[in-house]
Structure formats: structure tokens, C-alpha cells
Amino acid sequence: MHYDFKIKAEISHVKLISKAFDILKSISKGEISRAACLLEENKTTFAQFKLDYPEFFDIRIQKIKKDLLDIEQQYFSKSLNILQLGEFGSHLTNCKQRFIDTGVIMKNKRLNSIEINVTEEDLKLINFACKMYYRLQCGYIEDIILAVKHKIDHEAVYIELKNISNYALGFQDEEYRLEIFHPALHRKSKWAYDICNCIDNYEKIDIIKNIGTLSKLKVYKNG
């Protein structure tokens, strides 16, 4: 296989990309209630910045899980398997396993960073998974529709997901979503954003700045 690019990643990059792949895989199979676990990561920072009381946060997360499960049972009663997901499913599964295996190697050998050969399609998939990750944490639950592969009424499902988005963060303004720069967002959402930014701007890697605490993901084009 010809690899178009090479990335230099730290263990935190590898773990986050693996998790983003795992959540994307679940959602694409129809297990859309997995999205709630990303919103749940905001609990500590929401309390820290006084955006919500922990007790109210927990109540809202439980409602989100219930409403997503209701949509799941109505429209995605049969979870798709890898074969039914076609080429997308195979590619996602292979990439996820590669990054999980890479993480194990890094842990066993106590490596601070590692270079990984990737194709252009691999980079696009990393970008898609990480963007889904941080967008869901920002409250854009309707983005789930971009990943589902079922033959459904997409417009009807989108409207129901948008309704969940309107109360997902607990603000009176139903159209309000947190911007990625907001300090109340969990740090991993910023890491995911930075990974996307590094991929989108790999030719300008020296001048772009991360918004999170993780080092830049280095992306190089193979000669």
C-alpha cells in the first residue's frame, strides 16, 4: 500500500484518535446514544465555570441518553454490522485497530512519540472522527446524522436530534452552542479540534497555534 503521508503523534494523540474512531463506529452502526458520553465529559468543567450544578447536569444527561435511545429504537432498531457498513466500515475498523495497536506498542516500549504512515483517506477519516468528537461536545448533537448509514428519513431524524441539541447544554437560549474556545469545554474537545486543524493546515504547521494543551500533531507528506 502506498502511504501519502506520515504523522508524528504522542500517546495522547493516539488514544484520542482511537476513542474518536470507536465513537464514530458506534454511531455509524446506529448506536447513537454513545454520543451522550461525550457531553458527560463536560461535567467537571461546567461546574468549575458555574455553567451548571452537577445535579442538574446529571439529570439533563440522563434525559439526553433516554431521548437518543428512543430515536435509536425507532429508527435504528437493527444495528448494522461491519459488512453492512461496506468500505467505510472496513476502513474505519482497520484504522481503529491500527491506532489501538500503536498505542499498545508505545506503552510497552515507553515511547514519547511515534511516526505512523497513513494514506490521504486515513487522514480524512481521522479528521472526520475528531471533528465529530469535538462538535458533539460543543452541543451539536444533530451532527450524528452525518455518520449514520441506515436507510432512514434523514430529515425527520435531523429534526429530532436538533431538538436534543437545543437543551443539551442547559442554556435558556435554545440556539446556543459552546464555541470550541470556551474554557468550560473538556480539554479533549480542544485536542480533537487541534488534530483537525493540524491536518487541515499541515503545510502551515509551523505558524498555526493549538488552542489546547496537547502538542501539535505533525503531518508530513511522503516524497
pLDDT digits (tens, 9 = 90+) for 134-174: 999 999 999 999 999 888 899 999 999 999 998 888 765 56
Region 180-191: mean pLDDT is 95
CA contacts within 13 A on the Cβ side of 44: 4
Compute the distance between CA of residue 112 and CA of residue 4 in angstroms, rounded to an integer. Answer: 24
> Do residues 182 and 50 lie in contact, with contact meaning Cβ atoms separated by under 8 Å?
no
How many domains does one find in the chain? 1
Region 51-70: mean pLDDT is 92
Confidence check: pLDDT of 32 > 80: yes
Confidence check: pLDDT of 190 > 90: yes
Q: What is the pLDDT of residue 215?
A: 95
| Residue-wise pLDDT tens digits, 37-59 | 999 999 999 999 988 889 999 99
Please, which residues have CB within 8 angstroms of residue 206's CB and are 6 or more apart in sequence? none
Confidence check: pLDDT of 5 > 70: yes
Q: What is the pLDDT of residue 52?
A: 85
Q: How far is CA 66 from the centre of its chain?
A: 21
Q: What is the pLDDT of residue 24?
A: 97
Please, which residues have CB within 8 angstroms of residue 182's CB and are 6 or more apart in sequence? none
Confidence check: pLDDT of 115 > 80: yes
Q: Which pLDDT band, with edges at 50, 70 and 90, does 221 fall under? A: very high
Q: What is the pLDDT of residue 166?
A: 87
Q: Which pLDDT band, with edges at 50, 70 and 90, does 211 fall under? A: very high
Region 122-142: mean pLDDT is 96
Q: What is the pLDDT of residue 79?
A: 84
Boundaries of domain holding 137: 5-221
Residue 108, classified by CB atoms within 10 Å of its CB into exposed (0-12), middle (13-18) or buried (19+), is: exposed
Q: What is the pLDDT of residue 152?
A: 87
The partner residues of 6 in beta bridges, in order of sequence, read 117, 220
Q: What is the pLDDT of residue 33?
A: 95
Nearest-CA neighbor of 148 among 64, 70, 55, 84? 84
Q: Look at 174 and 211; give whichever has higher pLDDT.
A: 211
